[in-house]
Every structure is written in C-alpha cells, then in structure tokens.
C-alpha cells in the first residue's frame, strides 16, 4: 500500500507511540565506564582534553565505582598509570601493580558486585617509550617484537586475573596474543575468566585525548605497524576470525562512530557478544561542540550511543556512561 492508505507518521505522533514501536534500546547495564587509576591518595586530577574525566587514586576510584553501581552501569574498564616506567613494562604485570592493587580494593567492596571489572591489557602505559610492545632498536630503526611482547601480555593477563579481574581485555594488537593469554589464564586456574579481545582496533586520530589521560603517547614513531589501517574492512574480519579461533569469548570494536560500517559487518557475520568503544576523541569532539552551544548535549550524546547500538554493539565502552545512565534512569 502507498500513500494515502499508508501514512508512516501515524506511528510517530506521540512519545508513547514512538516508545512502543522503537526498534533499538539503550539501558545502563549495557554501558561500560573507563577509569584511569593513578598512584597516591585522594587524587582526582582533571584530564584537560576530556571534560568530566579524571585520573583517580584507588580510594577515589572506589568512590567513582560506587557511583557507577548506583546508576546501574554494567561495568568498568580499568587502565593504569604506574609510578615508574621501563622498557619491559614491568608495572603491567607486577603483583603490586596499580591496576592489580585497584582490583583487589574494588573486589572487596560488596556494593560493587553488580559491576563487571574489566582489565585492559596493553603495555603502552607502562613502557618508557610508550609503545604497546617490546621495542628492538637498530640505530634510527626500530621494530615492535611481536612474540616477546605477547609473552609479557600473557604474563600481564594472568596477573590481572589473579588480582580479581572478571574480564581480560587485550588491546595491543599483537599477532597471537589471544591464544597466549588464554593459555596463561588456564594455566593459572582462571579458566572461567573470559577474554574480550579488541579484535578490530584501528590506528586512529581519535585516540589523542586518551594518550593524555593514560600518559601513553609513543616517544617516537607511531602505532601503524600493529594497529589496523582504517581503510581495511576485510582485514578487520580476518582479525576477528583469528581472535575467535584463538579463544576470544567476546570482541570489541574501536573506534565506534567512524567505523559503524565495521561494527555492522561484524554483527552480521559473528554471533559472539560484541562491544564497541566510543573513544576519547569521539567524546571530546562532542564536548567541544557542547561547550560552544553548537549541539544539544543530552540529545547528541544519546543519539551517538544509539547509533553504535543500532549498528550492532551489544554493549558500549563510553566516557558518557554516567551521564547516559542518568538520562536512561
């Protein structure tokens, strides 16, 4: 039937009607809030390029986690800023590392039982050079040593699981890391700890503010030899295939809004639980528009999250998690 028998606007007339026929829904339990943990006590240091976000000492992170739990948010994704860095990223896998220590405190708090504690696994925050793996230098030339890096990543994953992480989330993009991490977890009797693989992580200009937040900018070169080329959708599917074959339980797409086509392609191809990371640059560019009055903050925030959900993400890692949860009730 065509107009005038068919009038699509009939189902848009009131908010009650629009709600009844709405195809895509957001809820707080599908939101994951990133936290940046730093040394000290009583530290709540504003991140200049990410309005409303902070580097938090462990005691302050516990308070932030309690606020997230009260809002019904689904989980936290933890990143660490160590007191010291070195070439081997020893702070990443130390038993008393910053994230390991935070996990132990967070898991003691029964008010946080509703939160899934996800631990990011990468070396960039912990290396003195800022790369995501072990660097081999030859004069002015350098290379990221894949297999040596994988060994440290597996060691880091086992340490974080032992400290209480509910989910291990490798973001490094080294070849073979998921298989090595799964083996290390199983060897350490953490068979029930799932791996959320950043299976499709593109080399992106949208990571800039994060590198301030995590103090993780590379001191030389860039990350294009291990993070993916933004032009390559088919390669993204190959990366996901590989990680699933190696034992990934869930997959994460990063960034989100500039790569909605990749999220959709992955949703149509895979039936694993899939998340998307609305990264720091996506968050900060929207905030820049909010501060200038160019966009309505609440509407633009919710529309951006809905687009990611509609593309196929089951859950969303976002710095808007708390604000969105308040809107969603």
Q: What angle do CA 304, 209, 302 make, to 5 degrees?
A: 15
Helix (H, G, I), strand (E, B) or coil at 23: coil
**Of the listed 63, 254, 322, 326, which one is catalytic?**
254
Exposure string (b/e) for 108-142, b if CB count within 10 Å is 16 or more?
eeeebeebbbbbbbbbbbbbebbbbbbbeeeeeee
Sign, CA dihedral 313-161-96-113, equals positive
Q: Does residue 201 carry a catalytic annotation?
A: yes
Q: Do the beta carbons of residue 131 and residue 223 sit within 8 Å?
A: yes
Q: What CA–CA distance (Å, rounded) separates 40 from 24?
A: 42
* R_g of the chain, CA atoms, integer Å: 20
**318: which strand partners?**
278
- By annotation, the residues acting in catalysis are 201, 254
């Amino acid at each position: 039937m065509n107009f005038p028998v068919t009038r699509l606007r009939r189902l848009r007339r009131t908010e009650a009607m629009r709600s009844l026929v709405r195809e895509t829904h957001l809820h707080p339990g599908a939101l994951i809030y990133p936290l940046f943990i730093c040394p000290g006590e009583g530290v709540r240091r504003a991140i200049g390029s990410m309005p409303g976000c902070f580097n938090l000492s462990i005691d302050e992170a516990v308070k932030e986690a309690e606020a997230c739990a009260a809002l019904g948010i689904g989980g936290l994704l933890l990143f660490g800023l160590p007191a010291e860095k070195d070439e081997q990223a020893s702070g990443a896998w130390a038993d008393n590392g910053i994230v390991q220590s935070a996990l132990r405190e967070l898991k003691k708090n029964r008010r946080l039982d509703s939160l899934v504690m996800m631990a990011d696994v990468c070396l960039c925050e912990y290396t003195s050079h800022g790369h995501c793996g072990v660097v081999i230098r030859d004069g002015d030339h350098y290379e990221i040593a894949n297999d040596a890096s994988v060994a440290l990543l597996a060691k880091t994953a086992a340490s974080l699981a032992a400290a209480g992480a509910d989910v291990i989330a490798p973001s490094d993009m080294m070849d073979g890391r998921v298989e090595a991490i799964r083996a290390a977890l199983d060897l350490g009797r953490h068979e029930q700890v799932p791996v959320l693989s950043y299976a499709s992580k593109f080399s992106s200009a949208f990571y800039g503010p994060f590198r301030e937040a995590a103090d993780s900018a590379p001191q030389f070169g860039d990350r294009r030899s291990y993070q993916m080329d933004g032009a390559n959708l088919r390669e993204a599917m190959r990366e996901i295939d590989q990680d699933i074959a190696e034992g990934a339980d869930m997959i994460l797409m990063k960034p989100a809004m500039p790569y909605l086509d990749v999220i959709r392609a992955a949703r149509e191809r895979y039936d694993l639980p899939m998340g998307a990371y609305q990264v720091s640059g996506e968050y900060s560019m929207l905030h820049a528009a909010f501060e200038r009055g160019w966009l309505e903050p609440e509407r633009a925030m919710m529309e951006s999250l809905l687009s990611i959900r509609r593309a196929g993400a089951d859950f969303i890692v976002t710095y808007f998690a708390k604000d969105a949860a308040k809107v969603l009730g």
